[in-house]
Amino acid sequence: MNFIRVKAIAKKEFKHLFRDIRMLLILLFFPAFLLGIFGYAVNFDVKNIKTVVYDSDKSDLSRNFINSLSSSGYFNITNYIDSDAEIKKILDKKDAQLIVVIPKNLSQEYFANREAKIQYLIDGVDGNTANLIQNYVTAATNDLSNKLTLEKMSKTGMKLYTPVDFQPIFWFNPELKSTKFLIPGLIAMILIVTSAVSVSLSLVREKERGTIEQVHVSPVKSGELLIGKTTPYIILALFNALMILIVGYILFGVEVKGSYLLLFLTTSLFLLASTSMGILISVVSDSQQVAFNIATMASLLPSVILSGFIFPIDSMPWIVQVFTNLTPAKFYIEILRAIILKGVGVEAFYMQVVYLLIFATIFLGLANLINSRKGKTP
């Protein structure tokens, strides 16, 4: 391989990039913009739950409980109702996600040392949200129950004894913010889409303009052509990755806890695999429209559905888990979460590095083979 020829092709591709200022600005800043949009839009945290209260008791006890709900930050009490007939209408119109039904004998049962009950009616259309709401109201009810128990025990002079002290400690994401879990997946999705699409259009552009024939009659070998075409986009994508990390830190407080060198090396490897996929698509495509459609389908859908970005791979059927190995984003997301969130070393994700190497080798090898047969022999 002649590195002078590779350098010449890369230089030529850089000139094409800098000639189209609008496209260059899109490639440089659009990924960071996407991270900001998706980072706020894709969020599993449930707050300000629209809550309606049906308080039949209207006692100090019920009012204290309602105040504790509204002050927690999770519940936004939007209305109070006075009859059962309004409940179905509210849930049907989705005017509330939660209806708290307090019976009229709540305080009476409590002061009679009998079990007092509170009913929660939850909109279960969105199962994940409904499950989180259930957890929140369960925690709120337990807090009320414990507080009332302590008050009764203190009045009698007894002390509450807890046989087992339950103290959970959450590592890596103590605030349990879904954004910190999703940001690495967003980084992988944005990088693979932008790099695969932009690279896939480069070689096809040469075909449409007829300049590819000049390359074929030159001494440039197929492998040199592909590497030279890939190099500028890898450098550009590395700059995108830096911009995305900066935006992620400023907007969402996501810090890199691990090695920056490891992050740089593994990101470079992932971008090599992604751009190699784009080169393979450009080799088999005859028009920019076809290349764009294939690159979008091959990068966007697998990186969202099959990579573990949103949906846990362990929860998928085994046959679907097999297909998740078809996208390099799956392995890069595991690497990102290990480096950014956990701060671990390469010993924790070396197999993912091996898989990315395999991807890059296969994509570049196939692209080189097909391009050699179409145009010239390396």
C-alpha separations of 317 from 43, 251, 323, 328, 341 in Å: 25, 35, 10, 20, 27
Q: What is the pLDDT of residue 209?
A: 74
DSSP 143-161: HHHHHHHHHHHHHHT----
Q: Looking at 227-347, which runs of residues are DSSP E strands?
A: none
**Contact yes or no for 151/60 (Cβ under 8 A):** no
Q: What is the pLDDT of residue 378?
A: 38
pLDDT at 377: 39
Q: Which domains are assigned to the chain? A: 3-43+178-374 (no CATH), 49-156 (3.40.1710.10)
* Measured CA distances, 262 to 1, 77, 344, 349, 350 (Å): 28, 48, 10, 11, 11
Low-confidence stretches of the chain (pLDDT < 50) are 376-378
Report pTM.
0.78
For residue 376, the model assigns a pLDDT of 45
What is the model's pLDDT at position 85?
Answer: 83
Name the DSSP class of 327: -
Task: Give the per-residue pLDDT at 163.
Answer: 65
pLDDT score at 164: 64
Tokens describing residue 151: 């008050």
Q: What is the pLDDT of residues 166-195, one digit of tens each?
A: 677 778 877 777 788 888 888 898 889 888
DSSP string, 153-213: HHHHT-----SS-------S-TT--HHHHHHHHHHHHHHHHHHHHHHHHHHHHHHHHTTHH
pLDDT at 100: 92
**Phi, psi (deg, nearest 5) at residue 271:** -65, -35
